Structure 1
Amino acid sequence: MSQRNAQHIEKIPYGKGEMEVRIPRKNYVATLMPSFRPGLKDEAGAVRQALENPIGTPRLREMARGRKSAVIVVNDITRSTATYKLLPHLIQELKDGGMRENQVQLLVATGTHRDNTPQELEGMLGKDMVRRFKVVNHHCQDDRIMVDLGKTRGGIPVVINRLFWEAELKITTATVAPHQSAGFSGGRKSVLPGIASLATLKQHHGFGMRSERPAMGWVDGNPFHTNALEAAKMAKTDFILNTVQNDRKEITQVVAGDVEKAWLEGVKASREIFEVKIPRPADIVITTPGGFPKDIDLYQSQKAMASSELVVKEGGTVILLAECKDGVGAHGFYEWMSAATCPQDVIDRFIREGYSIGASKAWLFSRCLKRSDLIVVSKCLNDKTLKEMFTERADTADEAIEKALAKHGENAEIILLKNGSDMVPRFEGK
C-alpha cells in the first residue's frame, strides 16, 4: 500500500486558501462537520412568511397600530446576519400597521465593539436604509444614554440603552448560531450584551456567569443565557426577527415573534445543522475556524478551540489550523497571557479581577490550555510569542501531527473538527 493510500486526506479552509491535512489511517477516527442544509431559494418569501406567522406574539403590523415610535436593534459589522435582507420587510410591516418612517430608528448593537463606519453601515443595512432612517451606534461606556432597569434574579444589573427602552415598539434582529458562552447567539443577546452598559457587561461576562467548560449548545440552566433572557424581558423586548444560517452563511430558516419562544425555534434549527455526535474523546483534535476572516488573528481563532475542548482527552493535544495574518490580535489578549507563569495563573487572575475584553479571551484560551497542549499551524506567528502564551507553533499540518504523535504515541487517535467555531459536539448516546 502506498503512503498516500495509508492516509486520510482532506482540504481545510485556511486564510483565503486551503491547507491539505494528511492523517495516518490507523490514527484517524472521524471528521466532524455540519450537516448539510441548503440555503433558501426564496429568502424574501421566508422572511415574509415568518412575519406573517410569528411565534408567541400577534403579527407585527397589529402590534404597531397606535404606536408612535419604534427602535429596531441590528447586529454590528462583526456578525453575519444579512440585516439588509430583513429590514425592508420589517419596515413594511410597521408601515402596514400605520407607522411612519420618521417614527422608526435603527440601533446598532455594538456591545463593547467600536462604532460602525458609514461605509460599513451601508454594507450591513443597505444604502437605502441608511439614507431613509436614523442609525445610532450604541456606546457601552456612555452612562448618559443608559437607563437602569434593576437587577436580574442572578444579580446582574440591567443597564441598557435608553433609546430602546423609551421606544413604544422594541424589535431586535440577529442570527441564531452556536456560541461558546451563551449556548447560542441571537434572541436575547441583542439586548445583553448588544445594547448594555459596560458595567452590566463586566458582571454578565465575569467568571460567575461563565462555565468552566465550553457552553457550546448549552441553554437549559446556563446562567449566561438565563440572565441575558431575563434582561431582554425586563427591557420589554416586543418582537424578534432572527435568521438561521448554514456553514456557508446561507439563510436556511427565519423565525419571528417572542424573544424566547421564537428564538428557541431558531435554536432547534441551528442545532440540527451544527450538533455532531462524537464516538469517543480523542488524543489529538485538529480544528479550524473555517478560513478568512475567522482565522484573521489568534484572538478570533480561539473560538475554534472551544468545541475542541469537548472532544479532546484530558492531557491530549489540540492542533489549531489558523493563518493569523494579523498576528495575535489586540485588546490586551497577549499582555494577559505573557504576564502569567502558566495557564492557571490567567484563570486565577480573571476570577480575581473580572471581565475586560483581553482578560476574557485570555481566560477562554487558558481554559483549553489547562486541559490540553496546543499547536498553532501558522507562518504568521513566531515561536517566541507563542511560547510566551504556553503554545507551540508549526508551519504545516503535517509537522503539527508529527509533533503530536511523538507525544501521544503511534497509536494515538485523531479527530478532525471542521468549522470548529460553530460546532456543538455531543458524545454518542447522550
Structure 2
Amino acid sequence: MTQTILDDGALAAIIAQGLTARNLRGQRVLVLIPDATRTMPMPRYFAIVRHALREAGAMQQTWMVALGTHPAMDTDALNRLLGCDLTKLSHDESDIAVVNHAWQDPATLVQVGVIDSDTMARLSGGLNSDAVPVRINRAVLTHDLVLICGPVFPHEVVGFSGGNKYLFPGISGPDVINATHWLGALLTSYAIIGTANTAVRAVIDYAAALIPTPRFAICAVVTPAGVHGTFVDNPEAAWAAAAELSAQIHVRWLEKPVQRVIAVLPSMYDELWVGSKGMYKSEPVVADGGEVVIYAPHLHEVSVVHGKSIREIGYHVRDYFLGQWDKFAHVPKGVIAHSTHLRGVGTWHDGIERPRITVTLATGISREECQQLNLNYADYRTIDPQRLAAGDDSECLVIPRAGEFLYRLRDC
C-alpha cells in the first residue's frame, strides 16, 4: 500500500477547510491535545490549528492537555511538547492559554449527567450494570466549542484511541475512567485491541453526548515517518475515518506466532503505566507459553500517580481478581484494569494462577521490585536487541519503538 505523507501545506489546507465550515466568530474554543506519551507532531498542529482558529474568528483558545490520570506536564515539558516558549507566547498571543487537566481536583470537575444502570448494562453487553456519574472538566461548559486534536492508534482499552476518548478519560473525573478501563479489562485487551466498535467505545460516546457544548475533532494518523491522514469532522465521524486508516497503517501481520518478543520502548514511555503498551501491542502474536520482554533501560518508575496501588496488588490475570474480589474491591478499578492488561490473559482456578505468557521487565526497575510486582526480571545489560534483530532466530521478534504498532496473526 502506498503511504502518503502530508506536508504542512496539505495539512493546513485540510484543517482550515474543516474549521472554516463552522461559524467560530467570537467563540471561545477548548482544544484537547495529547501529552508526550503519544506520537504526534504537536508543534505542527499547534501552529496550524491555532492560526486556523484565529482565521475562523475564534476569540479565545484554551489548549488543555488531556492527561487522563497521567502526571501533569511542567512548563519545560509543555514547551517541548508544543515547540515554543509559552512564556513568550502568552505575551505575544494573549488569546492563547495552555493548561493541564487535573483529574484529582474535584473543584475542576462538573457533573453533566449519569449513565444509569440499565443503560450501562445495555452498552456493556451485560458485563456491568453499575450507574456511573459523568464528571468532566468544567472548562467544557465555559467554552463555546470543544475541539479534540489528537492521534488515533490501536488501543488496549477501547480498541482504537482518539476521538471522544480525549473527553473520557482525557479530561474526565475518576468515575468514568475507572468504569471504562474496568470494562476493557473484563473484555480483555487481547480480545478488543485494534477493534473499532467496542463496548468501551459505546460507553465513551454515550458519555460524550451528555456534554451540552458542541464538539468537533481533528483526528490524525501518524507514525515516526509523518502524518498519513487528518480528518476534521464531528468526533464520531472523524474518529471512524482515522480508525479505518490506522487499521491499515498501524497493524503488522505475522504468519505464525513467535516464542519471544523483545519490545524496545522509546524514551517517551518513562514509566511502566504507559510503557506496558509494548506488551499490549505484541501479546496477540506470542505463542502459548511464550514471553514478552519489555526492554527499556531508561524506565525506572512503575507509576508516579498509581505506583502505591500497583505495588499493593501486583500484576495478575483478570480472573485472579474476579475470583477473590472481596480482597480487591477497595482498589480503583482503573488500576486493577492496568494490572490485568499488562499480565495478559490467563486463568485462576483453585488458588493457582496460570498466565498464558510470561512478562519480563528488562528495565531500570530492580529484581526485587519485579518480584514484588509478580513480573519476571532480566538484566537489560544481558540483552542486545540489535544483535537479536540481526540474527536468524525466527522464534524471536524484536520490535523497535514498541507501543504504537499492533502485531497480529493473519489467521486471527
Which bracket does the TM-score occupy, shorter chain normalised? 0.7 to 0.9
Residue 406 of structure 1 corresponds to which residue in structure 2? none
2:8 is equivalent to residue 49 of structure 1: no
Residue 279 of structure 2 corresponds to which residue in structure 1? 305
Q: CA deviation at 1:134?
A: 2.4
* Structure-to-structure mapping, 1:246-395, within 5 angstroms: 246=223, 248=224, 250-282=226-258, 284-294=259-269, 296-333=270-307, 336-337=310-311, 339=313, 345=320, 348-349=324-325, 352-353=329-330, 355=332, 358-367=335-344, 370-378=355-363, 380-395=364-379
- One-letter amino acid of the counterpart of residue 134, structure 1: A
Asked if structure 2 preserves the Cα contact closer than 8 Å seen for 1:334 and 1:389, the reply is: no
Residue 101 of structure 2 corresponds to which residue in structure 1? 138
SS in 2 for 1:163: helix
> Residue deviations 1:94-117, cap 9 Å, x none?
3333333xx332222222233322
> Residue deviations 1:5-55, cap 9 Å, x none?
xxxxxxxxxxxxxxxxxxxxxxxxxxxxxx995754x2x21322222443x
Asked if structure 2 preserves the Cα contact closer than 8 Å seen for 1:182 and 1:216, the reply is: yes
SS in 2 for 1:164: helix
SS in 2 for 1:288: strand
Q: CA deviation at 1:279?
A: 1.6
Residue 196 of structure 2 corresponds to which residue in structure 1? 219
Residue 14 of structure 1 corresponds to which residue in structure 2? none
SS in 2 for 1:63: coil
Unaligned ranges ≥5, structure 1:
1-34, 55-59, 402-410
SS in 2 for 1:88: helix
Q: Would the alpha carbon gap of residues 345 and 164 (structure 1) be closer, same or farther in structure 2, given more than 3 Å must change? A: same
CA distance in 2, matches of 1:334, 1:313: 32
> Residue deviations 1:165-217, cap 9 Å, x none?
33222211111122211222221111111111123322222246652243321
Q: Would the alpha carbon gap of residues 166 and 314 (structure 1) be closer, same or farther in structure 2, given more than 3 Å must change? A: same
SS in 2 for 1:262: helix
Q: Which moved more, 1:417-426 or 1:390-399?
A: 390-399
Count residues with an aligned counterpart. Answer: 373
What value does the CA root-mean-square deviation take over the aligned residues? 3.3
Residue 219 of structure 2 corresponds to which residue in structure 1? 242
2:76 is equivalent to residue 110 of structure 1: no
Q: CA deviation at 1:372?
A: 1.2
Q: Which moved more, 1:366-375 or 1:259-268?
A: 366-375
Residue 80 of structure 2 corresponds to which residue in structure 1? 123
| Aligned counterpart for 2:30 among listed residues 65, 71, 92 | 71
Q: CA deviation at 1:414?
A: 4.1
Q: Would the alpha carbon gap of residues 340 and 97 (structure 1) be closer, same or farther in structure 2, given more than 3 Å must change? A: closer
Q: CA deviation at 1:304?
A: 0.9
SS in 2 for 1:195: coil
Unaligned ranges ≥5, structure 2:
121-130, 347-354, 386-392
CA distance in 2, matches of 1:292, 1:304: 12
Q: Would the alpha carbon gap of residues 252 and 352 (structure 1) be closer, same or farther in structure 2, given more than 3 Å must change? A: same
| Aligned counterpart for 2:138 among listed residues 162, 165, 175 | 162
Asked if structure 2 preserves the Cα contact closer than 8 Å seen for 1:277 and 1:428, the reply is: yes
- One-letter amino acid of the counterpart of residue 406, structure 2: V
> Residue deviations 1:224-266, cap 9 Å, x none?
22212222333244311232211x2632222211201111221
State the TM-score, normalizing by the size of structure 1: 0.75
> Residue deviations 1:311-346, cap 9 Å, x none?
223333333333254254444447645656965545
Q: Would the alpha carbon gap of residues 49 and 335 (structure 1) be closer, same or farther in structure 2, given more than 3 Å must change? A: same
> Residue deviations 1:357-412, cap 9 Å, x none?
6444323223357221233334x3433332333333333697799xxxxxxxxx99
- One-letter amino acid of the counterpart of residue 316, structure 1: G
- One-letter amino acid of the counterpart of residue 149, structure 1: V
**Identical residues among aligned pairs (%):** 20
CA distance in 2, matches of 1:390, 1:412: 28
SS in 2 for 1:51: helix
- One-letter amino acid of the counterpart of residue 273, structure 1: I
CA distance in 2, matches of 1:267, 1:342: 30
SS in 1 for 2:282: helix
CA distance in 2, matches of 1:205, 1:342: 15
2:180 is equivalent to residue 204 of structure 1: yes
Residue 86 of structure 1 corresponds to which residue in structure 2? 45
Asked if structure 2 preserves the Cα contact closer than 8 Å seen for 1:291 and 1:322, the reply is: yes
Q: Would the alpha carbon gap of residues 352 and 270 (structure 1) be closer, same or farther in structure 2, given more than 3 Å must change? A: same
Asked if structure 2 preserves the Cα contact closer than 8 Å seen for 1:61 and 1:95, the reply is: no
Q: Would the alpha carbon gap of residues 106 and 163 (structure 1) be closer, same or farther in structure 2, given more than 3 Å must change? A: same
CA distance in 2, matches of 1:200, 1:277: 33
Asked if structure 2 preserves the Cα contact closer than 8 Å seen for 1:210 and 1:223, the reply is: no
Q: Which moved more, 1:271-280 or 1:64-73?
A: 64-73
CA distance in 2, matches of 1:68, 1:381: 48
CA distance in 2, matches of 1:339, 1:49: 50
Q: CA deviation at 1:72?
A: 1.6
State the TM-score, normalizing by the size of structure 2: 0.77
Asked if structure 1 preserves the Cα contact closer than 8 Å seen for 2:284 and 2:409, the reply is: no
- One-letter amino acid of the counterpart of residue 301, structure 1: G
Asked if structure 2 preserves the Cα contact closer than 8 Å seen for 1:333 and 1:362, the reply is: no
Q: Would the alpha carbon gap of residues 345 and 336 (structure 1) be closer, same or farther in structure 2, given more than 3 Å must change? A: farther
Residue 24 of structure 1 corresponds to which residue in structure 2? none
CA distance in 2, matches of 1:108, 1:218: 26
CA distance in 2, matches of 1:161, 1:332: 21
